[in-house]
A = this chain, B = another copy of it.
Amino acid sequence: MKMSAGVEWAVHCCILLSQADEPVPVPRLAEFHGVSRTYLAKHLQQLSRAGLVTATEGRTGGYVLTRPADEITVLDVVLAIEGDEPAFRCTEIRQNGPLPASPQACRRACGVARVMYAADHAWRSSLAGVTIADVVGTVERENGAQTFARARDWLATGSAGTTA
């Protein structure tokens, strides 16, 4: 029941990509977040397969969000990395043993599984209610708008940060 660490990276990358108007290559994303370039590339590939980002090849290539940040939910990102399969997988053990459940009863999903699926639905609904733009807005409201303004400058100028 542990989520992949790549989810955290992917969400933060989407946040940063929402601040960029030009394609951002993987090395730049990795440098900004201080994580492994090659492993981050793997997760970006998954985001690409899920259709959340578009890859541009070539010298000025990189990744760009395919949709506006307010149309990408956190759930989209999580499912792109973790896969859309529910956490609980019913193995139908009710059909095993000396007193298996009747075929008539098995027309409905196992009662245990239904409880788990309901919880999974609540979890997904919670994540689906928050977009990348919402997260950006929350952080800006709390820490000030200059937070992402600096990120935008860093993306545009390269590594010539003003904080040195």
Which residues of A approach B to under 8 Å, CB–CB?
A: 1-5, 7-9, 11-12, 15, 31-35, 74, 78, 82-83, 85, 87-91, 93-94, 96-99, 101-102, 104-105, 108, 111-113, 115-116, 118-127, 130, 135, 138-139, 142-143, 147, 150-151, 154, 159, 161, 163
Residues of B within 8 A of A112 (CB): 8, 11-12, 15, 74, 135
Q: Is the interface of A mostly helix, strand, loop or mixed?
A: helix
- A138: chain B residues at CB < 8 Å are 111
Q: How far is the CB of A103 from chain B (nearest CB, A)?
A: 11
- A99 neighbours in B (Cβ, 8 Å): 32, 150-151, 154, 161, 163
- A33 smallest CB distance to B (angstroms): 5
Q: Are A127 and B98 in contact (CB under 8 A)?
A: no
Name the one of B12, B85, B121, B143 contacting A105, with C-beta atoms under 8 angstroms: B143
Q: Which of B11, B33, B85, B105 contacts A96 (CB 8 A)?
A: B33
